[in-house]
């Protein structure tokens, strides 16, 4: 077997890549800043935006509706409306928004604006039609919302979000590389026999791996655009493409170099990703998978699967507790639930197509009830930074890897003891 080579064999090559990425990032930021200045040029602007979330909030004895929207230009913002506003989630609104004091940072991330609602439109986009099809298969609105999150990246309501966070399965509901890997494998094995049939008869000289990759990546790219390019999916798609290109050229794919190159390239071309929590959580998950493979790559496939499921869970737990603080006694069940999700995801898609989309509804309702009761378990900044420091040290040190396992296990025991 030909030994895989490293992506960068000389420090000079790596620094040239860094300088190139920095130059591209500078140009991208300049373009974003130019768009920002154009956006805030006037005191108000007319925009059309789709409602991602809608919920009621009470402050100073006054109740109003809070709307999270995404404009046709890709800007995400919040606004408020009167209490009596109808359910407009998923609908398209025409608004006059008043700029106020929107800074460049807020423009790149999310901002709040006062607005005047001019018109409510039914969303006739293909994505909304898919959401309507999903909703028609379920009596429980919350369960329909879960499937919409799984297939079309819809936002789930706060109660559902907290329930899944308490169970440690938020990463399953939010579309990311986990979903992309399942879909890519499914597409490959479905298309492979069809491709081989035509290849044997018409083009035996073609490279099946490259052709199938082009077909699969084209489908996944179209799907990513269909979902409005969520950051975690952009990261995983970028890594999928970069990984295959490197693999085809005999370069080691499962390495920290590959992850770093993918992150830097994506940030260079899409600087908004710098401020996306979903992007960094997705990258963190891959970091710990690669960290595991660095130290335990000689394990059998079965034990690698088990090891990644358990260790990535406890490694990411510290990150989850520092950011979200949600935990329950059932949180460790996410290890099993994550393993079960691999067959569940494609089967649930098939069931929706053949009219049995509600087959797993009772199970999902049970999960929502199970995740209803949770507690806030905080991890202070110093412990989190220590966790990050040990994690990076573990790239080069086996001792640090075992220290990371021990430290992460301690955090898990502490969290269970806290809620027990």
pLDDT for 5 equals 62
pLDDT for 157 equals 84
Q: Is 98 left (phi over 0), alpha (psi -120 to 50) or beta?
A: beta
Q: Are the C-beta atoms of residues 236 and 282 closer than 8 Å to each other?
A: yes
Query: Rounded to an integer, what distance in angstroms lies between the CA atom of residue 19 and that of residue 47?
Result: 38
Q: Can you read off the two tokens belonging to residue 371?
A: 């995740």
Query: Rounded to an integer, what distance in angstroms lies between the CA atom of residue 335 and that of residue 305?
Result: 11
- Is residue 273 packed enough to be buried (19+ CB in 10 Å), middle (13-18) or exposed (0-12)? buried
User: Residue 252 belongs to what H/E stretch?
Assistant: none
Strand order in the sheet with 76-81: 110-112, 76-81, 62-71, 44-59, 92-98, 114-121
Placement of tokens 């053949």 in the chain: 354
Q: Are the C-beta atoms of residues 275 and 281 closer than 8 Å to each other?
A: no
Q: Can you read off the two tokens belonging to residue 419?
A: 């809620």
User: Residue 15 belongs to what H/E stretch?
Assistant: helix 11-39
Could you state, in chain order, the average pLDDT of each consecutive group of 10 residues for the chain (420 residues)?
64 90 95 93 89 82 85 87 80 88 90 89 81 92 92 87 90 84 90 90 85 91 88 84 80 83 91 89 92 92 92 95 93 93 93 94 93 90 96 96 97 92
Q: Are the C-beta atoms of residues 172 and 147 closer than 8 Å to each other?
A: no
Q: Can you read off the two tokens belonging to residue 207?
A: 């490279």
pLDDT for 363 equals 94
| Alpha-carbon separation of residue 312 from 161, 338, 380 (angstroms) | 21, 11, 20
Q: Are the C-beta atoms of residues 310 and 274 closer than 8 Å to each other?
A: no
pLDDT for 1 equals 44
Q: Can you read off the two tokens belonging to residue 376?
A: 């806030």
Does this model's pTM top 0.85? My answer is yes
Query: Rounded to an integer, what distance in angstroms lies between the CA atom of residue 307 and that of residue 293?
Result: 10
Q: CA dihedral in degrees (259, 261, 265, 271; nearest 10)?
A: 60
pLDDT for 4 equals 61
């Amino acid at each position: 077997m030909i030994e895989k080579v490293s992506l960068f064999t000389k420090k000079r090559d790596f620094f040239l890549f860094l300088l190139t990425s920095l130059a591209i990032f500078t140009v991208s930021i300049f373009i974003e800043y130019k768009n920002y200045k154009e956006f805030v040029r006037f005191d108000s602007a007319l925009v059309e935006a789709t409602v991602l979330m809608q919920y009621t909030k009470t402050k100073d004895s006054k109740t109003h509706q809070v709307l999270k929207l995404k404009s046709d230009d890709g800007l995400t913002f919040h606004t408020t409306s009167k209490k009596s506003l109808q359910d407009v989630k998923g609908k398209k609104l025409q608004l006059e928004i008043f700029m106020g004091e929107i800074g460049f940072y807020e423009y790149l991330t999310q901002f709040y604006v006062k607005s005047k609602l001019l018109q409510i439109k039914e969303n006739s986009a293909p994505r909304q039609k898919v959401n309507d099809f999903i909703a028609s298969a379920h009596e429980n609105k919350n369960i329909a919302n879960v499937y919409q999150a799984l297939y079309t990246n819809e936002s789930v309501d706060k109660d559902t979000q907290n329930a899944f966070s308490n169970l440690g399965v938020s990463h399953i509901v939010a579309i990311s590389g986990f979903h992309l890997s399942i879909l890519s494998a499914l597409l490959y094995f479905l298309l492979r026999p069809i491709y081989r049939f035509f290849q044997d008869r018409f083009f035996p000289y073609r490279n099946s791996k490259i052709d199938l990759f082009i077909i699969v990546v084209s489908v996944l790219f179209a799907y990513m655009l269909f979902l409005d390019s969520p950051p975690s999916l952009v990261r995983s798609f970028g890594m999928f493409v970069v990984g295959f290109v490197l693999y085809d050229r005999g370069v080691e794919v499962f390495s920290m170099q590959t992850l770093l190159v993918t992150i830097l390239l994506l940030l260079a071309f899409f600087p908004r990703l710098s401020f996306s929590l979903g992007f960094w959580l997705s990258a963190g998950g891959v970091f710990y998978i690669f960290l595991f493979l660095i130290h335990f790559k000689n394990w059998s496939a079965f034990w690698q699967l088990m090891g990644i499921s358990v260790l990535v869970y406890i490694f990411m737990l510290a990150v989850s507790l520092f950011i979200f603080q949600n935990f329950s006694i059932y949180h460790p069940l996410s290890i099993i639930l994550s393993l079960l999700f691999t067959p569940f995801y494609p089967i649930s898609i098939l069931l929706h197509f053949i009219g049995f989309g509600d087959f797993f509804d009772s199970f999902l309702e049970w999960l929502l009830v199970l995740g209803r009761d949770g507690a806030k378990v905080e991890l202070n900044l110093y412990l989190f930074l220590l966790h990050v420091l040990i994690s990076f040290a573990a790239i080069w040190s086996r001792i640090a890897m075992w220290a990371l396992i021990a430290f992460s296990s301690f955090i898990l025991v502490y969290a269970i003891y806290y809620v027990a």
